[in-house]
Amino acid sequence: MEIKKIQQLVEAIKILPGVGEKTASRYAFDLIETNQDNINLLIEAMNAIKEINRCSKCQGYSEDEICYICLDHDRNHDKLVLVAKAKDILKIENVMPGIYYYFVLGGIIDPINGLTEKDLNLQLLKDKIKDNKYQEIVLVLPSTNEGEITSAYLRHKLVEYNLNFSKMAQGVPVGSSLEYLDEITLIKSIESAQKI
């Protein structure tokens, strides 16, 4: 009976990306050994995950219907920063808080892995652009083939709004994703985004 519960815990931990049987078992035994207070902390945090939703305007993380960024009127109204994943917003806000508005595409186009234009939040993006008077879209996407396909596709799809497009400046190594950029490189490459 008890062993079954340990296995259940191991299986649950394996949900995390990059965690295999071995690591999961180690975590599981560490958790079993840790004190009750820590376990309660974890349970509480886990439960709170259910309250982390997506902002209906930008698709970023939010506890409410609309996130604090979209509600903040004191940001640069000319620019909309487009990112692939919600966590990218956190990364940018960390190093340059309070400057931009964002929109989360939800991914990038990658047909080999089954991701096409249907997997982008395109209609919501159009809504956000219509509701605001952005002049420029800053594309903060991975500098991979897939990132380039996605940005070329968006430029075609948003042509009716007469927007300028710019993308992160040089300095982003080919194929690198946002999470591996150091802070200074990230700030530089967004601030000096170049027109495309």
Partner 1 sequence: MIINSLTLQNFRLIKNQTIKLNHFQTILVGNNGVGKTTIVEALYYCCFFVSFRTRIQEELISIGQENSKLAIRYQDSRSNNLEVMFNQKKRNIVYNGQNNQKRLDTIGKIKVLLLNPNSDHYISGMPKLRRNYLDLYISQYDYEYRLELSKYNKLMKQRNALLKKSKIDDILLQVITEQYDQLIESIRKTRISFLIEVNKYSNIIVGMLSVGSEKIDLQYISSKKEKIDKEKRYQKNLYGLQYDDFNILINQIEAKKYASQGQQRTIAMALVLSQLEIIYSHEQKYPLVIIDDVHVELDQLRQTILFELLDQKVQAIFVSTTIDNIPLKTKQNATIYEVIKVDEKHSKITETT
146 binds, among Zn ion, partner 1, none (CB under 5 to 8 A by kind): partner 1
Q: Which is nearer to Zn ion, 67 or 81 (CB)?
A: 67
Nearest approach, Cβ of residue 85 and partner 1 (Å): 20
CB 67 within 8 A of CB 57: yes
C-alpha distance across the termini of the chain, in Å: 62
Check residue 89 for interaction with Zn ion (CB under 5 A): no
Q: How far is the CB of 196 from partner 1 (least distance, A)?
A: 13
- Least separation in angstroms between residue 78's CB and partner 1 is 26
| Interface positions, 97-156, toward partner 1 (CB under 8 A) | 109-112, 116-117, 145-146, 148-149, 152-153, 156
**What's the rounded Cα separation, in Å, for the pair 70 and 102?**
8
**Of the candidates 38, 40, 65, 35, which has an alpha carbon nearest to the alpha carbon of residue 51?**
65
Residue 148's nearest CA partner among 161, 165, 160 is 165
Out of partner 1, Zn ion, none, what residue 57 binds, judged by CB under 5 to 8 A for its kind, is Zn ion
Select the binding partner of residue 132 from Zn ion, partner 1, none (C-beta < 5 to 8 A, by kind): none
- Residues linked to residue 93 through DSSP beta bridges, in sequence order: none
> Tokens at residue 67, please?
């996130």
What is the distance between the alpha carbons of residues 141 and 41, in angstroms, rounded to a whole number?
35
Q: Which residues make up the interface to partner 1 (CB under 8 A)? A: 109-112, 116-117, 145-146, 148-149, 152-153, 156-157, 174
